[in-house]
Amino acid sequence: MEELTASFNNIGIQHYLFLSAVLFSIGVMGVLYRRNFIVIFMSIELMLNAVNVLLAAFSRFNGDQSGQVFVFFIMVVAAAEVAVGLAILVMIYRNIRSTDINALRNLKW
C-alpha cells in the first residue's frame, strides 16, 4: 500500500500510459459489446481520444510540441470522419429502418 501511494506522489508518463490503455480497451469492448451502430461509432471516438491523451502526455514529458500538432491533425481527421460516417449511418437507417448492425449482413453468405 505504501508503494502504491508513493507511486502516485509524482505522476509520470507511466500513469498516462495505463490511463490510455484502459480507455482504448473500453473502446474496443464497446465495439464488441453493442449492436447499435451509433454507440459503436462513439466507442471508436473513445479509442481516438485515448491515443490523443497519450500523444499529449508524450509531448509534455519530452518537451516537444510536435506531439500536440499530431493531436490537432487527429482531431481534424476525426471531425471529417464523423461528418461522413454519420451521413452514411443516416442513409443506412433510411434503407433498413433500424440501427441494428446485424441487419447489415448482405456480404455474408
From residue 65, alpha-carbon distances to 40, 47, 60, 69, 94 in Å are: 32, 22, 8, 7, 44
Residue whose CB is less far from another protein, 61 or 104: 61
In the complex, minimum distance from the CB of residue 2 to another protein, in angstroms, rounded to a whole number:
15
Q: Which is nearer to another protein, 87 or 106 (CB)?
A: 87
Please say which residue, 32 or 107, places its beta carbon nearer to another protein. 32
CA distance 30 to 33: 5
Distance in Å, CB of 109 to another protein, minimum: 21
